[in-house]
Structure 1
Amino acid sequence: MKLLENNCPICGKIVNNYGLCSDCFDLINKDPVFYYNIDGLEDLIVSSTYSGIMRKLIIDFKFNGKLAYGEIISEIMIEKLLEKNLSSEVLTYVPMYKYKERERGYNQSKILAEDVAKKLDLKCEDVFEKAIDTKFQVGLKKHEREENLKDSFKVIKIPEEIIIVDDVITTGTTIRELTKIAKDSGVKKVTALIAATEIA
């Protein structure tokens, strides 16, 4: 899943290894300020702010089919995850409704989870399923997001400890809903690993 050229995808500078040049990498805010109150969530690990270069990478990866950008995003996530003492957790991801995933051709959160798991020698498993199609969350207010996602996910596997991977967190509604159903189903420890937060 690599680009053919050895150029930084942002500024075009030649790079020795695939990915961002050091100048563009340094422009990403990797110490975001955020606050989410999510009952039952052991830890929320957020890798960056959803702005500037990171926003461009995520949008191109998520909507424009530039799947190679997932490797750059996952490297930034791994850097943050390595600060934590994690070893027995199973990585999983926010699922998409099957029709919408077929329409897009991929689930960006699944790609990120699989890439992080592979590079850190962790398991990646399907823990959740999107059982009901819902509206896109973009543009919905917090209470509308909560109503939109209520009862739309189900648990299909119950590991003891999981890390839920997603690309962007805005109000925390999705992670809140997944954490709730995971804990209700018997998952003992839930952590979330997010590429970027919209709250800076």
Structure 2
Amino acid sequence: MQLRRALSLTAATAALLPVAMAAAPASQAAPADQIPTCYDVDTAWGQYHNNTFVGRSFGVPKRVALGTRWTTFTATLTNASAKELRSFELRAQVGSYIYNDGERDLSPYSDLQYWDTSQHAWKTLREAGGTARGALPGPKTLKPRESVHVQLRFRVGEDLPLDQVYDAFATITGSFVDHYRDMDCRASGDIGGSFSPRKG
């Protein structure tokens, strides 16, 4: 995921109201059929522009202390286009960008939870490989000007080795099936924040 490329935020997003998220559990948010990304489809031309989403996020600080204390943040993605987004999926993750061989991802040292509004409880997101990421409950389609709003929290363990610099992030990603150059492809947009881990 590429946080810097994904979204163009505008002040107009403050006027957009989020809609309620679907109550289906995250375990039912199965991934769509494997189809190429719209950027992959467009490799030869470089003209695909995903201006579908606008977003806003609050609560991710510039520095996060290692330990057991949770950092809570909220994120909203809004369909700013005139089209209904089909096969919509919503995911969240905590991790870090890998630039060089031998660098490690911060994600396995992290915990990530979302607030389940239907059960009034925090639910943990963790994939089989131990990374702090996973699918969130949400609608299967997103109409024009509709939004999804998520409350999440994360922490980074004290066992994270600080022998490298981490370009870390906490984000949600919305993706959908678009139609481009006469074929279906998957487009996405991120919103969240970047941070640096430090000793408490």
TM category, shorter? under 0.3
Between Structure 1 and Structure 2, the one with more helix by share is: 1
Q: TM-score, normalised on structure 2?
A: 0.28
Query: Which gives a bigger RCO, structure 1 or 2 (Cα 8 Å, sep 6+)?
Result: 2
Q: TM-score, normalised on structure 1?
A: 0.28
